[in-house]
A = this chain, B = another copy of it.
Amino acid sequence: MALRSILGTMCLGNRAACCRFHLHPPHAPVRHASCQSRSGFKPERVAVVTKTTRYEFEQQRYRYAGLSEEDLKQLLALKGSSYSGLLERHNIHTSNVEHVVRSLEREGIEVQVVKRGAYSEEVVRWADAIISAGGDGTMLLVASKVLSKDKPVVGVNTDPERSEGHLCLPVRYTRAFPEALDKLCRGEFRWLWRQRIRLHLGGTGINPTPVDLHEQQLSLEQHSQAHRSDSQQRSGALHQSVSTPSLLPVRGLNEIFIGESLSSRSKSFKPHLNLLLHRASYYEISVEDGPWEKQKSSGLSICTGTGSKAWSYNINKLSEQAVEEVLKIGRSQAGVDVPLSPEFIERVTDQYNESLVFSPDDRRLLFSIREPIVNRVFSSSRQRGFASKVCVRSRCWDACMVVDGGTSFEFNDGAIATISTSEEDQLRTVVLEN
C-alpha cells in the first residue's frame, strides 16, 4: 500500500478547525500537492460502481432461461423497435462510464471499476470516494454500503435521457466530468450531509436477517432452500423470548416502506404478483411516542428529505385534475364566484406538490399512508405528517419492511419497528452548481 502523503488537508466544508490546523484525520483522503486549496477535494483512490443496464439484464435473464444469444436476438427483434434501443442505451451508459474513468485517471487518481454485483464493504474501505455511475437506483446501492458519514459519494447520471438522476450531479457533467473534478479540486462545491433513517426491530417473532432484493445470483433451487431454512429458523424462534429491539445494520437514504408482501391465499407460481394486488396492510402506528392507532392501507412510507422527492412524492402528489375538482366543489359549497383558469389550477397544484418536498439535511421524517382504507372498522387521523420518531407494530400476515427498495426485512404480526434519524447516519454527498 502506497504511503499516503500528508501534504494538505481535506477541508470539511465549514469545519474551519480542520482547515486551520491542516489536520489529517486518519479517515480523510489526502490531496496531491498540486491542489492545495484548503477547501478542495481530490481523492487518491476512487471506486466507480456501475449499474447493470437493461440490455445486460435481458442477456442474463434469457441465458438463465436457456436461450442462446441468437435466440435472444430473434426475441428482441420480434418484440419490435423498443428493444433495438436497449443496445443503444447500453452503449451510451458504457461510453459515459469510460469518460468518467478516463477523466479520473488523467488526474492521476487510482480507479477501480466495480459492477454492482461486486460492490462490497471492502471496496468502500479501499476507496477515498465512491462514484455511482448509473441512475438514482445505483446511488441507493452505493449508499447502502457506506455507513460512515465521512466517506464522500458522488453520483453521475450515465443516461440523462432516461434517468431522472435526482441524486446525481447535474446532467451537464456527465460528458464534462473533468469540469466536475476541477471544481471539486478547487473547492467550488459544497458538502451536503443527507440525513438517513435508522431502524430498530423488536417485538415478537422477528427475523432480523436482511434480504438483498438486488441479489441476482440465487437460482430457484437456492430460493427454495432459503425459504425452507427460513421456516426452520422461524420454528426455532418458537423458543425465543421477546427480543429487545436491535439496531439493524442498514440506513435508509430515501425511505422505509412497510407493507404486505404475500397474499394470505396464494402460493401461486408467481407469488410476487400478490403485491400487484390490493392486499391491505394492517398495522398500528405511534408518532412521537403518541397513542397507537390501528390502520389499514396499501402500505406506509417513512422518508427523509432526500426521499421526499422519490416514492413519497408520487404517493402524495396531486394531479391538476384532482385539484381543479376540489376547488370547483369548494367554490360551489362556499357560494363564491372565483374563476378557475388553467394557470390558476396549475399554480395551486404546484404549490401543493412543492410542499411535499423538504431538505435532505432536515432531521425530520415524513410518514405517508398509501391509499388509506377508512371504513366501519378502521379510521385514520392524518394521511401524512412530520415526526422525529415513528413506531410501527405489524398486524400483517406476511409483510416486509423495505429499505430504499433494496433490502427487506420480515415484518410480521407482533414485530415492532422504531424508525428515527441520528446525525451519525448522514451520507456525505456533493453539490456542484449547475
B319 near A380 (CB under 8 angstroms)? yes
A205 near B372 (CB under 8 angstroms)? no
Give this chain's copy count.
2
B211 near A268 (CB under 8 angstroms)? yes
**Known: A52-B265, A336-B338. Contact between A348 and B329, CB under 8 A?**
yes
Check: A384 CB closer than 8 A to any chain B CB: yes
B278 near A405 (CB under 8 angstroms)? yes
Interface size on A, residues (CB 8 A): 111
Chain B residues with CB under 8 Å of A382's CB are 319, 321
Check: A351 CB closer than 8 A to any chain B CB: yes
Q: Which residues of A (144-201) have their CB < 8 Å from a CB of B?
A: 161-162, 164
A57 near B265 (CB under 8 angstroms)? yes
A214 near B321 (CB under 8 angstroms)? no
0/1 string, A195-239, CB within 8 A of B gives 1: 000000000110000011111111011111011101110110110
Check: A112 CB closer than 8 A to any chain B CB: no
Q: Which residues of A (361-389) have their CB < 8 Å from a CB of B?
A: 371-373, 375-377, 380, 382-384
Chain B residues with CB under 8 Å of A373's CB are 314
Chain B residues with CB under 8 Å of A232's CB are 66
Check: A261 CB closer than 8 A to any chain B CB: yes
Check: A33 CB closer than 8 A to any chain B CB: no
Output the nearest chain B residue to A381 by Cβ-Cβ distance. B321
Check: A16 CB closer than 8 A to any chain B CB: no
A275 near B275 (CB under 8 angstroms)? yes
Check: A87 CB closer than 8 A to any chain B CB: no
Among A71, A266, A375, chain B packs the most CB atoms within 10 A around the CB of A266
Alpha-carbon distance between A224 and B261 when the two chains are bound, in angstroms: 20
Alpha-carbon distance between A235 and B224 when the two chains are bound, in angstroms: 25
**Known: A267-B216, A268-B218, A348-B326. Contact between A82 and B273, CB under 8 A?**
no
**Known: A82-B413, A213-B266, A273-B402. Contact between A330 and B329, CB under 8 A?**
no
B352 near A329 (CB under 8 angstroms)? yes
**Known: A226-B269, A321-B382, A338-B336. Contact between A82 and B235, CB under 8 A?**
no
Output the nearest chain B residue to A410 by Cβ-Cβ distance. B270
0/1 string, A241-275, CB within 8 A of B gives 1: 00000000000000001010111111111111111
A71 near B276 (CB under 8 angstroms)? no
Check: A334 CB closer than 8 A to any chain B CB: yes
Check: A408 CB closer than 8 A to any chain B CB: yes
- Least CB distance from A114 to B in Å reads 16
Chain B residues with CB under 8 Å of A360's CB are none
Chain B residues with CB under 8 Å of A318's CB are 318, 322, 326
A276 near B327 (CB under 8 angstroms)? no
Check: A119 CB closer than 8 A to any chain B CB: no
